[in-house]
Structure 1
Amino acid sequence: MDRKKAESQLQQSEELNSALFNDHAAVMLLIDPNTGEIRDANVAAVDYYGWPRDQLVGMFIQNINTLSPDEVKQEMQRAESRARTFFEFRHRRADASIRDVAVFSSRVHTGEEGLLYSIIHDITDQKKAEAALATRTQVFLLALAVLCLMLLGLVVRLVMILRQRKRAEDALQQKSALLAKAEQLAQLGSWTRDMATNGLTCSDEAYRLFGCTPQELTPTYTGFLERVHPLDRETLACKHSVSVRMGIEADEFEYRILRKDTGEVRYINERCEHVRDASGTVIRTIGICQDITERKLAEHQTTIQLKLIACSAASPLSDLLTMALDEVEQLLNSSISFWHFVEPDQKTLSLQQWSTATLERFCTSQGRGMHYNIDQAGVWVDCVRERKGVIHNDYVSLPHRRGLPEGHAEIVREMVAPVIRQDAIVAIMGVGNKSTDYTPEDLSTLSFLADVIWEIITRKKTEEALRQFNQELEKRVRKRTWELEEANRQLEAFSYSVSHDLRAPLRGLTGLTRILLGKHTTGLSEEGRKLCVLINDNATAMGLLIDDLLFFSQAERTALHVSPINMTAMVRGVFEELGSTEDTARVDFQLQELPPIEADPCLLRQVWLNLLANAVKYSSKKEHPVVQVRAELKDGQAVYHVQDNGAGFDMQHAHKIFDVFKRVHSTKDFAGTGVGLAIVQQIITRHGGRVWAQGEPDKGATFSFTLNVVETERMKSNQQ
């Protein structure tokens, strides 16, 4: 029984020792001191070095230790003889990183075999700190030596240094004052946020921007958010969080704050950068903040001005005034606002408009458009007597205030500004019941906007007078248009008459020549037959010329019937119509996808017909004629090109190529009337586009034109 008990205790002891070795958090290795082979390694060692346990066990310590094999063997001998039990080495891990380690090693016996039992601790960070401390110590000693030399020099030149010190102190005091003033003028504060503790450190200027002292602002990020305007608080916190999560190195934000000292709303621009540790985790955020309230007010003023200008174009005066009051009321954080006109006698007022909020929530008294004497008005007419804007932040305590009519909004504080033109007050704008006191800056903003609104009102009155003038002018234009249309109708009748009168003899000529060539050809000489053919060809050409001239005349007067056009389909169809001729059949026709447009289909089809027919005609003498049609979008327009490799032309004639009857090639070489390109230019110009040509003799030509692009769902489906 005693033996079994002893064996059980021995087994428990071995299990305990094994657990102490394998489960211990410290890195532990068992090493053969003779060969350096690693006989065993605990879990912590496997995790630390990064090799699998079955690979780590069996490796040699020489593979891990950065010392030479001989040096490693010497150190193992010292550990085995207990001459030394503590070592500092540099060990290599599986990821090739080198770490500084402290090793406690001593000999242990496992049966008959003696092994080195080594406990390893990572001291890399400690080594770095020691190196940094050593560097700082050296710097300190060097600085101390320099300081001693300086002190020695100071003793020798004491009087001179005292005088220089006085001058330097005076200069430093001046520079310090200038720097403090610059910081105040720039309204630039700085802060640092510790991401681990959420602590916040701010500069003096930052506290001044927030209107509080360091004792009044909780030095945490949460305390900072409490100073942010409630409407911007959640958005700003979300943006900060996203900036950190998305790995953005630097970011910029704009938000509003509530100053603790005055309760005033201020606009802040913030720029920050994130500082990361070696793992990429943000550990600190550094930022600067600047008060941009004046800039934002200027932007808001400009926005209001643009809105009012846009409103004045389509709204009556009453709507314009209401919109102006609503915008000013919101900008100045007020809850009521009004607008009065002052009559030329400078004694009579008329209530012109209240803001939307004033009428809906606060004021139900009547009086819009009512005229009454200035002496009957409340304290707000102080601005008329003083001829400048006034602020009443303590309205209730004013001794000369009057009672308010029934239904009138309660007044807590108010601010009014007069509009002065040619030394006379023409209008008054007022706001009231801001949650905090009005400031001189608020009054400046109100005065500026009151002037702007008055200018818009004046312009609207001028526009009304101009509108009446335009109506009269439109009557005259309609009359002149009718007269012009009548003249065009007469010209059209004349064109048809001339066309008919010219065609009749031409038909006679062609008919007679056909009779001569058909029935009397035997009685004609060879020269006579040639003359008959020439007469017939010239009569045919004359007929084509009459058709082109008639189309040219009609194209200028014909009303445009605009509709969506699938340009790719139209060009393909026009070329197929030309395909019946031998010249067209030889052409290598290259058509790219063309953007759709809205235009007159009939007229635009004539454009493509003329340009493609010319391209085929002038490339017909080439062995391999090529005609290419392409387009691109540029600056809101579609630019279409028809390019051929034909006869081309000299660019010195490009200025006249679109004139009627102006040809750059002889009719002997290429037939034509000289009107086709003029028709193209006329049609494109009527559609608001332009047309031009580029060419080079015997190397082809490119004819281009532009049309405005209209992207609509209807056109897209039509294109499909």
Structure 2
Amino acid sequence: MWPVVDGRGRPARIMGMGWRLDGDEHPEAIRAEQEKFLLMLANVTDFAFIFIDTEGHVTRWSHGAERIFGYREDEVVGLPAALIFTPEDRERGMPEAELGRAITEGRAEDERWHLRKDGSRFWASGALRSVRDEAGNLRFFVKILRDLTERKLMADRMEQLNAELEQQLAQRTTELLAISRELEAFSYSVSHDLRAPLRAIDGFSHALLEDYFHTLDEEGRKHLDRVRTASQRMAQLIDDLLHLSRVTRSEMQREQVNLSEIAWQVAENLYAAQPERQVEFIVAPHVTAYGDARLLKVLLEQLLGNAWKFTRKVDQTRIEFIATEADGKRAYCIRDNGAGFDMVYAGKLFQPFQRLHGITEFEGTGIGLAIAQRIVARHGGHIWAEGAVGGGAMFCFTLS
């Protein structure tokens, strides 16, 4: 077994967390302490312990160092400790810089590539500590290394995979943007091409009703009314589909939004459109949320408009906008006392074109709640509905 000594051959021992150089006092106690320490080093093979003199030469080389580097102790003692560094690091003066930091700061730590005897490289985490005597004089250094090549290779592989994924994502995003632009152009083209004949159908039907009103019998006039109604509904459906498409693609600009103010604005617009209706609107004050103001206004227009529509047959109509808590999150709810719905079909509510009421009973294209769901999803939230047939409905949503 080899003793722990400084560059002058004088024994050293560990004192607490540091090192202290001893003289010849209590040689037996020192020797016993050294033997314990050396026994520990002899059984530690996961770490390399390298003792270096003040000139930067190896003085002692542990069993762990032999296993990791491949050199026997008698092959490296007296050689510069820089031999464990890669040629590039030696050219950059890294061994000397590391010794300099250990001298001035007491300790130098790093993670870098190191060189084995066979020329292969491995990644290691290392710490170089300077050892001084009680007078503060530098005596030697101790370098401790651990082979972390497997972890390094795994980290490099993960970095490579992330880079590849980012590249694929960027490429996919570019492709999706191109597809989106094509779809948008196609949508506008189809919209224009469909609207033109629909306007013609509606216009000529209206002209027939006006010019040949007395010529047509009641049945003929009803047929033309149905043609006009169908063409107008198709035009509305086209508009709603384009609206749904824009909601999905539009760029979001998040900010603090006063939902109470928006709810009142929507209510006033609904009153203006149908002033004959007597509706009690209750809006909780100072309800705010963080999101895209334009999209959140569309969301409330869809949900409050939905409540307005399905309370049409109720004498004492009541519509509420409130804020509450749901599963530990802030939730915003629109509650009404209208027609309601069967909870068995709740899953269909937010799907496009899904209607739980007949077109003759309540107007609409079945797109509004799908638009609401898309807006909530874009805000990272969740939307759900509760109701009962004839017992009203409540639509709630959260935002991230």
TM over 0.5: yes
How many Å separate the matches in 2 of 1:652 and 1:572? Answer: 32
Counterpart mapping for 1:126-525 below 5 A: 344-346=69-71, 349=84, 409=138, 426=146, 459=151, 462-525=154-217
How many Å separate the matches in 2 of 1:482 and 1:654? Answer: 37
Q: Identify the match of residue 323 of structure 2 among 631, 645, 653.
A: 631
Letter in 2 for 1:575: A
Q: Counterpart of 1:623 in 2: which secondary structure?
A: coil
Task: State the 1:504 CA deviation.
Answer: 0.8
Task: State the 1:468 CA deviation.
Answer: 2.8
Q: 1:368 to 1:699 in 2, by over 3 A?
A: closer
How many Å separate the matches in 1 of 2:112 and 2:155? Answer: 22
Q: Counterpart of 1:588 in 2: which secondary structure?
A: strand
Q: Counterpart of 1:599 in 2: which secondary structure?
A: strand
Q: Identify the match of residue 263 of structure 2 among 561, 565, 571.
A: 571
Task: State the 1:562 CA deviation.
Answer: 2.5
Q: Counterpart of 1:699 in 2: which secondary structure?
A: coil
Task: State the 1:689 CA deviation.
Answer: 0.7
Give the corresponding residue for 2:228: 536
Q: Counterpart of 1:702 in 2: which secondary structure?
A: strand
Q: Identify the match of residue 655 of structure 1 among 337, 347, 358.
A: 347
Letter in 2 for 1:692: W
Letter in 2 for 1:586: Q
How many Å separate the matches in 1 of 2:230 and 2:200? Answer: 13
Q: 1:492 to 1:345 in 2, by over 3 A?
A: same
Say whether residues 1:600 and 2:287 are aligned partners: no
Letter in 2 for 1:463: A
Give unmatched runs, 5+ long, in structure 2. 1-14, 18-63, 77-82, 86-94, 118-130
Q: 1:464 to 1:531 in 2, by over 3 A?
A: same
How many Å separate the matches in 2 of 1:707 and 1:490? Answer: 30
Letter in 1 for 2:356: V
How many Å separate the matches in 1 of 2:154 and 2:137? Answer: 34
Give unmatched runs, 5+ long, in structure 1. 1-262, 266-340, 375-393, 398-406, 420-425, 428-453, 709-720
Question: Does structure 2 retain, via aligned residues, the 8 Å contact 1:358–1:409?
Answer: no
How many Å separate the matches in 1 of 2:113 and 2:383? Answer: 62
Q: Counterpart of 2:69 in 1: which secondary structure?
A: coil
Question: Does structure 1 retain, via aligned residues, the 8 Å contact 2:69–2:115?
Answer: no
How many Å separate the matches in 2 of 1:372 and 1:659? Answer: 63
Q: 1:617 to 1:634 in 2, by over 3 A?
A: closer
Deviation string 1:621-655 (CA, Å, 9 cap, x unpaired) is: 11101001111255674211111000000110111
Letter in 2 for 1:549: L
How many Å separate the matches in 2 of 1:488 and 1:459? Answer: 42
CA RMSD of aligned residues (A): 3.9
Letter in 2 for 1:602: R
Letter in 2 for 1:538: A
Give the corresponding residue for 1:681: 373
Give the corresponding residue for 2:394: 702
Give the corresponding residue for 2:336: 644
Deviation string 1:536-572 (CA, Å, 9 cap, x unpaired) is: 2222111111111112223222232323322111222
Q: 1:530 to 1:373 in 2, by over 3 A?
A: closer
Task: State the 1:521 CA deviation.
Answer: 1.8
Question: Does structure 2 retain, via aligned residues, the 8 Å contact 1:352–1:369?
Answer: no
Say whether residues 1:559 and 2:251 are aligned partners: yes
Q: Identify the match of residue 242 of structure 2 among 528, 550, 573.
A: 550
Task: State the 1:607 CA deviation.
Answer: 1.1
Q: 1:681 to 1:584 in 2, by over 3 A?
A: farther
Q: 1:598 to 1:352 in 2, by over 3 A?
A: farther
Give the length in aligned residue pairs. Answer: 305
Letter in 2 for 1:574: V
Deviation string 1:139-175 (CA, Å, 9 cap, x unpaired) is: xxxxxxxxxxxxxxxxxxxxxxxxxxxxxxxxxxxxx
Q: Which has the larger radius of gyration?
A: 1
How many Å separate the matches in 2 of 1:508 and 1:353? Answer: 85
Task: State the 1:682 CA deviation.
Answer: 1.4
Deviation string 1:312-331 (CA, Å, 9 cap, x unpaired) is: xxxxxxxxxxxxxxxxxxxx
How many Å separate the matches in 2 of 1:356 and 1:496? Answer: 71
Letter in 1 for 2:263: V
Q: 1:418 to 1:410 in 2, by over 3 A?
A: closer
How many Å separate the matches in 2 of 1:513 and 1:466? Answer: 67
Q: Counterpart of 1:579 in 2: which secondary structure?
A: helix
Question: Does structure 1 retain, via aligned residues, the 8 Å contact 2:132–2:139?
Answer: no
Say whether residues 1:612 and 2:337 are aligned partners: no
Letter in 2 for 1:576: E
Q: What TM-score, normalized to structure 1?
A: 0.38
Give the corresponding residue for 1:714: none
Q: Counterpart of 1:665 in 2: which secondary structure?
A: coil
Q: 1:581 to 1:470 in 2, by over 3 A?
A: same
Letter in 1 for 2:70: D
Deviation string 1:263-310 (CA, Å, 9 cap, x unpaired) is: 999xxxxxxxxxxxxxxxxxxxxxxxxxxxxxxxxxxxxxxxxxxxxx
How many Å separate the matches in 2 of 1:522 and 1:597? Answer: 58
Question: Does structure 2 retain, via aligned residues, the 8 Å contact 1:587–1:624?
Answer: yes
Q: Counterpart of 2:399 in 1: which secondary structure?
A: strand
Give the corresponding residue for 2:360: 668
Say whether residues 1:693 and 2:353 are aligned partners: no
Q: What TM-score, normalized to structure 2?
A: 0.66
Letter in 1 for 2:256: P
Percent identity over paired residues: 35
Task: State the 1:665 CA deviation.
Answer: 0.8
Deviation string 1:60-91 (CA, Å, 9 cap, x unpaired) is: xxxxxxxxxxxxxxxxxxxxxxxxxxxxxxxx
Deviation string 1:155-205 (CA, Å, 9 cap, x unpaired) is: xxxxxxxxxxxxxxxxxxxxxxxxxxxxxxxxxxxxxxxxxxxxxxxxxxx
Question: Does structure 1 retain, via aligned residues, the 8 Å contact 2:69–2:116?
Answer: no
How many Å separate the matches in 1 of 2:254 and 2:395? Answer: 23
Greater RCO (CA < 8 Å, at least 6 residues apart):
2
Letter in 2 for 1:514: H
Say whether residues 1:590 and 2:315 are aligned partners: no
Q: Counterpart of 1:523 in 2: which secondary structure?
A: coil
How many Å separate the matches in 2 of 1:696 and 1:681? Answer: 21
